[in-house]
Amino acid sequence: MIRLYDYVLSASCYKVRLMAALVGVKMDHEAVDFHPGRAHKSLEFAQLNPAGTLPVMVDGAMILTESTAMLVYLAKRAGSQWLGPDDAKSAAQVQQWLAFSGRLAASLGMARLHDMLLYQGDIDAWRKDGHAALRELEAALTERRFAGGDWLVGDAPSIADIACFPNVALSQDGGVSLDAYPSVRLWTRRIRALDRFIEMPGIHRLHELSPAPKVA
């Protein structure tokens, strides 16, 4: 059984929980007292992950400490449909978005930790970088819509979408509104509408849109 060292409020941990749920892989969860205990910075935890970050995935002798690597592992185990199309360009684009998700964590993710759990730092810079990343995402998703596409790469949702989704969907927690990004909002709805989607605090499930309310 895969073991996930997990924190309920972490966007990166949720990324992995969501992927596992979508592909139907069961995991054991070990709750880590990230806040207020800062157990991820303890000496004991450093034996597992010297970087002192969450999540950590352990499967037998394999230890993964990068959430995007965990997405690849889960997706590959479940077949290949979540890895994106198997051509050179698509494969490169998926990697591009996986790396891009790190920029989202370093901007929107930090703004959220600042506003919610009182992390110290340059909040204005985090929000500014967050908006810059969202503009890029908005442009890419709008291009995809013009071309008839719903997802970041290819014709189906992939690890690229799942990697970018959490910090975008939680951006409001850090004082960054998605009002100016309609393609991004539509895309987050698409992800929330996926079969076997799971929520986390701050990301609510999609409520039933039908039956439609009567308009007088």
205 touches another protein (CB under 8 A): yes
Number of residues assigned to the chain: 216
From 83-91, 154-162, 167-175, 183-191, span contacting another protein (CB under 8 A): 167-175
What is the C-alpha to C-alpha distance for residues 145 and 126, in angstroms, rounded to an integer?
28
Nearer to another protein, 100 or 119 (CB): 119
What is the C-alpha to C-alpha distance for residues 52 and 135, in angstroms, rounded to an integer?
31
Whose CA is closest to 90, among 159, 136, 23, 142? 159
From 130-138, 144-152, 159-167, 171-179, span contacting another protein (CB under 8 A): 171-179
37 touches another protein (CB under 8 A): yes
Site size with another protein, rule: CB under 8 A: 22
Task: State the binding string over 67-106 for another protein (x if CB under 8 A, else -).
Answer: ----------------------------------------
182 touches another protein (CB under 8 A): no
Among 152, 159, 173, 176, binds another protein (CB under 8 A): 173
Among 1, 24, 26, 36, binds another protein (CB under 8 A): 36
CA distances from 133 to 69, 129, 176 (A): 21, 6, 12
Q: Residue 31 carries which side chain, given as an amino acid letter?
A: A
Minimum distance from CB of 55 to another protein (Å)? 13
213 touches another protein (CB under 8 A): no
> Do residues 21 and 45 make contact, with C-beta atoms less than 8 angstroms apart?
no
The token pair at 202 is: 């701050």
The token pair at 158 is: 């992939």
What is the C-alpha to C-alpha distance for residues 154 and 68, in angstroms, rounded to an integer?
18
7 touches another protein (CB under 8 A): yes
Among 3, 21, 25, 35, binds another protein (CB under 8 A): 35
172 touches another protein (CB under 8 A): yes
Full strand arrangement of the beta sheet holding 2-6 = 27-31, 2-6, 56-59, 62-64
For tokens 């990004």, name the residue: 181
52 touches another protein (CB under 8 A): no
> Do residues 53 and 45 make contact, with C-beta atoms less than 8 angstroms apart?
no
What residues make contact with another protein under the rule CB under 8 A?
7-9, 31-33, 35-37, 39, 115-118, 172-173, 175, 200-202, 204-205
